[in-house]
């Protein structure tokens, strides 16, 4: 996902990318296309890129162990500075562009933010009842007669 910043006008710009998640190296549980909307503010000394990503994932519910598909989203901001003096290279999401660079590749950032968009707890639905701890029946589908 390449942004050729020399083709952008100063001020606000918008770019969208729609590509298969495999093209940036995302495997299971990701599938289908990744949608990336970039809102770019270009100034004479910097470029600020606000990205919003949307992906489809296959997950297993942590309560009932059923497979389900859902969309996950994430957003992030990248700042690119036009500066020959690279002061603090370790700053998060701050990159430096040399005067000869005319393209910005956001693929690595999209990949990383896609990975961290996965939920810590996978639930097929907010009110998932899970499995009976005694008989193992999925309580979303049927009631059990166990006395717990």
The three state secondary structure string of the chain is CEEEHHHCCCEEEEEEEEEEHHHHCCCCCEEEEEEEEEEEEECCCEEEEEEEEEEEEEEECCCCCCEEEEEEEEEEEEEEEECCCCCCCCCCCEEEECCCCCEEECHHHHHHHHHCCCCCCCCCCCCCCCECCCCCCECCCCCCCCCC
Domain locations in the chain? 2-115
pLDDT in tens, 96-139: 888 788 899 999 999 999 999 999 999 999 999 999 988 889 99
| Global confidence as pTM | 0.86
36 C-beta neighbours (distance < 10 Å), count: 23
Tokens of 78: 């990248």
pLDDT in tens, 22-65: 999 999 999 999 999 999 999 988 999 999 999 999 999 999 99
C-beta of residue 55 within 8 angstroms of C-beta of residue 69: no
Phi, psi of 9 (to 5 degrees): -80, 155
Tokens of 48: 């600020």
């Amino acid at each position: 996902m390449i942004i050729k910043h020399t083709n952008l006008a100063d001020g606000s710009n918008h770019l969208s990318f729609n590509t298969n998640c495999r093209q940036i190296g995302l495997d299971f549980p990701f599938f289908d296309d990744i949608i990336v909307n970039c809102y770019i503010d270009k100034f004479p000394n910097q470029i600020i890129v606000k990205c919003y990503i949307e992906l489809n994932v296959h997950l297993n519910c942590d309560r009932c162990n059923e497979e389900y598909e859902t969309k996950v989203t994430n957003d992030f901001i990248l700042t690119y500075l036009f500066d020959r003096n690279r002061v603090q290279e370790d700053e998060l999401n701050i990159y430096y562009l040399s005067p000869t660079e005319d393209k910005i590749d956001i693929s690595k950032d999209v990949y990383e933010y896609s990975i961290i968009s996965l939920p810590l707890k996978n639930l097929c639905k907010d009110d998932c009842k899970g499995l009976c701890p005694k008989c193992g029946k999925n309580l979303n589908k049927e009631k059990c007669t166990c006395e717990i």
